[in-house]
Amino acid sequence: MSSNSHSSQNMKKVIITGADGQLGYELQRTVLAGYECIATDKDDLDITNADAVMAFVTKTKPDVIINSAAYTAVDKAEEDVELATAINSTGAANLAQVCKDTVVNGKAIQFMQISTDFVFDGKAHTPYLVDAPAEPEGMYGKTKQEGDEQVLKILGDDAFIIRTSWLYSAHGNNFVKTMLRFMAEREELGIIADQIGTPTWANSLAQAVWQAIDNNVTGIHHWSDAGVASWYDFAYAIMEEGIELGLLDKEITLNAITTADYPTPASRPCYSVMDKTTTWKALAFKSEHWRVALRKMMSELV
């Protein structure tokens, strides 16, 4: 467990769960002045254990909890339903409940739940609004949606849920880093071209979460970078940026393939672009285009 702060009596304490993940890492990098991060991973805090959550919160007395812990192995979740449910649903409920039941500095603890585009079925053709029906197809999406529902049930109007998509960063494993590795090793790659969404730099999501905390934003929100792409478009951009930045020394052949050409245990949304206009309004700032964000993140790898 690590803690970073600007030492002062008036610091707001923020527990970050899943601190070793991509978003957890970026939340620590982008922390606003006046906030102190208590960074936890599963060894520090087992969110699936309600008593452990209560004990940890009683000891640390946070003003805010950001739940960026999640079981995100989409295909494995189809078999590992029990663990996915424990982390994504029970864990979120445990954290929300302790926020409701605990008063710190005269106030209930603010709670931020990070969710996913996988709560949608992917059958839409226009960006999903925040109040679009959540109809997840796979177990990952179902367990995340169950967690969101628990949070809403427990916290009501005080709940804050932010859905995001196609997350990547310089930290951890993700599509960008996998593509760079494959592109350096191979002459050609087949990339899915019929799944459409929006890549999101975890750094931009982290900044949005801090803005939401600082402005006491509540409700359900969507945050990804701006624009749309298929995985094929995303891969092509990674290759172009990679060559430009000297991370790759040559172009390779990218073949556009269909979802049917690459079967996986879990089905993925064909279309998961989310409408972000209400979030942009609530936070008073907009996402950058995903190509701009991609260039910034990839510059960190040089």
DSSP 104: E
* Catalytic residue, candidates 71, 128, 140, 168: 140
Of 227, 198, 217, the C-alpha closest to 278 is 217
Report which secondary-structure segment, H or E, holds 293. Answer: helix 290-299
CA distance 24 to 16: 7
For helices 290-299 and 202-214, the axis angle rounded to 10 degrees is 110
CB of 299 within 8 A of CB of 152?
A: no
Q: Please, is 185 exposed, middle or buried when counting C-beta atoms within 10 Å of its C-beta (0-12, 13-18, 19+)?
A: exposed
Structure-block tokens of residue 211: 């803005």
DSSP 11: P
140 is catalytic: yes
CA distance 292 to 295: 5
- Burial annotation 32-52 (CB, 10 A radius, 16+ → b, else e): eeebbbbbbbeebbbbbebee
Structure-block tokens of residue 260: 């049917």
**Which residues lie below 8 Å from residue 181, measured CB to CB, with a gap of 6+?**
none
Q: Please, is 203 exposed, middle or buried when counting C-beta atoms within 10 Å of its C-beta (0-12, 13-18, 19+)?
A: buried
CB of 206 within 8 A of CB of 146?
A: no
Catalytic residues: 140
